[in-house]
Amino acid sequence: MSTEEPTGQASFAKKLDITMEGQKSSGKIYRLEDVAQHADAQDLWIAIHNKVYDITKFLEEHPGGLEVLLENAGQEATYAFEDVGHSLDARDLLSQYYIGDLHQDDRTEKAATAVVTENNGSSTNLLVVLGVAALAAISYYMFTSRA
């Protein structure tokens, strides 16, 4: 039996920490009621994957705009974060704002997360392109057959 590390796409996906569990703990524990006290543009905390982040300094830089962050201010925002499909770079950037963990009683079950692969969704892109090409061909055929 081989003890070598898997290579290629499988090893890349296996090494990903998309739930930020591998993030070293700061040792600080916060309740959701603590997080809720930081819910405006001057002082904004959110909880994602049972980790607490002070993202106040990031508000103006957020590519999705300030509004979406304010909507989730002071709350458990794992679903909203995952629903958008943030990139690995965004997850790495988030780690800079980590300040602690949620108290055990306030933790949520693991959020369903998509498997991120090295090809960055090129299979999906290919299907979209093929679908558009098929529709164009059908439209062309229907248009030219009427003439």
Q: Is the torsion defined by CA of 101, 103, 106, 107 positive or negative?
A: positive
Residue among 10, 19, 6 at smallest CA distance from 112: 19
Phi, psi of 54 (to 5 degrees): -95, 100
pTM (two decimals):
0.61
Report d(CA 2, CA 4) in Å as an integer.
6
**What pLDDT was estimated at residue 105?**
93
Q: How far is CA 96 from the centre of its chain?
A: 15
pLDDT in tens, 14-48: 344 445 555 667 679 999 999 999 999 999 999 99
Report d(CA 107, CA 126) in Å as an integer.
39
Q: What is the mean pLDDT of each run of 10 residues along the chain (147 residues)?
A: 44 45 75 96 94 92 86 92 86 90 87 46 70 82 77
**What pLDDT was estimated at residue 47?**
95
Bridge partners of residue 102, in order along the sequence: 30
